[in-house]
Amino acid sequence: MSIDDKKISKAENVAGKTNVRSTEPITEMTVSQLSRLLQARSITSVEVVDAYLKEISLKEPDVHSYITITAELARKQAEKVDKLRAAGQQLPALAGIPAGIKDNICTAGIPTTCASKMLEGFVPPYNATVMEKLAAQHVIIVGKTNMDEFAMGSTTENSYFKKTRNPLDLDRVPGGSSGGSSAAVAANEAAFTLGTDTGGSIRQPASFCGLVGMKPTYGTVSRYGLVAFASSLDQIGPLTKDVRDSALVLNALIGQDSLDSTSVAHPDSDFTSDIEGGVNGLRIALPKEYLSGGLSDDVREAVLNATKHYEKLGAHVEEVSLPNLKYALPAYCVISSAEASSNLARFDGVKYGYCAQDYEDIDQLYKKTRSEGFGREVKRRIMLGNFVLSADNYDAYYKKAMQVRTLIIKDLNTIFDRFDLIISPVSPTTAYKLRDKVGTPLEPYQDNLYTVPANIAGIPSLSIPCGKDSQGMPIGMQLAGKAFSEATLYRAAYAYEQSMKGGK
């Protein structure tokens, strides 16, 4: 479905923009482009939603981005937005924009399954805070996206319902655990999506699918209504086609929430206000530890080329050391598994969710329900978590991991005393073949080698495309900054993105 030249011309005259192509289909447009056209009333929300629903019907049989598709709801929401605009009401920038929501974020009246048999058919009676914020923006919800069960995985092959495929190569994984969210945007089945990031689960799939993925500062986006995996690490964030879109969506998500005791107020209210400020004089650190080990040659070359490009743009890049980086991944595995074992104890077959049918006593009910309701990866992490929290092992594992967490935070703070940002790869490799790492439980953890420090420290981190490998698959680079430096991350990412578009 395309938009005719007259509509495009009208929108450009109203918005003062000239970067919307007249031949571009609705589903290939960015959020910013769609927003300008909708605000100019050159297209309607119903047109936009119908275009996306058509794309979903065409591509879902191959991609499997969604667990639940909410076509009827989406059309009703779109009709409401069009009526408000027709009545002359000024609406927010995201009004009428179709979005997909990761299926561990509670949506009132819409199933929230966490891609698990344990929650199959569960319909929350309330909305997560981020859903209330999107509703205030009049965002259109087209569905709930597939994921690794309870967000535990790096490939979206751990879903109880289906395996999501990478739209850029259907034989490859889209990453995880937010693989459905990344695949939906990459396949043009949503203008943007929400994912969650516990150790890299927004940034790694964004890297694998050639998108922009943002993990905000811990606490700046409310976790109320997010089904918890590891509460001290989890964060909700957007996956988008470009940097400006990411900033627009994050604008709508931030804010202190009385329903989440860990939420905090962000000093910035508009991440787009200084997004075109450039990087001249910006100080960027390149940890040498990020460029060693199992890093592929293609990824290393792409990231190093990006650092050279930043220098051409006026930034200062310097190699530094993160001596405790090698301990970050083991510490993450211990901490996240410990918190997961505690959080998932609530799924016992009594209060809600799956319940085993044949049992003789309450102990057998618990055992059979959890054995039948949880998948292999979830059970593996619960067992590990119970092990490290046991009386005999607590000091040797969990306490030690928390001490390592403190060391990593100190290392990062030392770097941020001298530098504005840290640049690194997102993942050691690009997207690999389906089933390549099935049956090798430790290997997928390596995908998070470069991403977990940001979760451990609670700092913001963003993935942005920086090239392609020899097979034509996207490579992502990661920009990380000190707490509440999202505006700086967006400014640096936008400068790189726009200069590469311009061929400079």
Give the percent of the chain with pLDDT over 90.
90
Q: Residue 427 catalytic?
A: no
| Amino acid 194: pLDDT | 98
The residues near 168 (Cβ < 8 Å, ≥ 6 apart) are: 186, 209, 210, 431, 472, 473, 474
DSSP structure class, residue 101: E
Predicted TM-score of the model (pTM): 0.94
| Amino acid 86: pLDDT | 96
Residue 338 above 90 pLDDT? yes
Question: What are 367-423's pLDDT values in tens digits?
Answer: 999 999 999 999 999 999 999 999 999 999 999 999 999 999 999 999 999 999 999
* Distance between CA atoms of residues 127 and 391, nearest Å: 38
Closest CA to 149 of 128, 168, 164, 169: 164
DSSP codes joined into one string, 117-173: GGGTT---SS--HHHHHHHHTT-EEEEEE--SGGG--SSS---SS----BTTBTTB-
Residue 318: is it exposed, middle or buried by C-beta count within 10 angstroms (0-12/13-18/19+)?
exposed
- Tell me the mean pLDDT in the region 159-180: 98
CA distance to 2, 158, 185, 199, per residue, from 205 (Å): 29, 14, 11, 12
Residue 442 above 80 pLDDT? no
Name the catalytic one among 42, 201, 222, 246: 201
Q: Residue 504 catalytic?
A: no
- Tell me the mean pLDDT in the region 153-168: 97
* Distance between CA atoms of residues 249 and 191, nearest Å: 11
Place 232 in a pLDDT band, splitting at 50, 70 and 90.
Answer: very high
Name the catalytic one among 102, 133, 215, 241: 102
Q: Residue 400 catalytic?
A: no
* Distance between CA atoms of residues 110 and 20, nearest Å: 34
Question: What are 279-296's pLDDT values in tens digits?
Answer: 999 999 999 999 987 899
Name residue 83's amino acid.
K
Name the catalytic one among 32, 35, 42, 177: 177
Q: What does pLDDT average to over the chain? A: 93
Give the percent of the chain with pLDDT over 70.
93
DSSP structure class, residue 215: E
Closest CA to 137 of 177, 185, 192: 192
- CATH numbers and ranges of domains, the chain: 26-253 (3.90.1300.10)
Q: Are 483 and 268 contacting, i.e. CB atoms less than 8 angstroms apart?
A: no
Place 363 in a pLDDT band, splitting at 50, 70 and 90.
Answer: very high
| Amino acid 22: pLDDT | 42
| Amino acid 503: pLDDT | 52
Residue 21 above 70 pLDDT? no
**Four-residue CA torsion sign, 30, 34, 37, 40:** negative
- Tell me the mean pLDDT in the region 69-92: 97
Compute the radius of gyration of the chain from its Cα atoms. Answer: 22
Torsion of CA 228, 229, 231, 234, to 10 degrees: -100
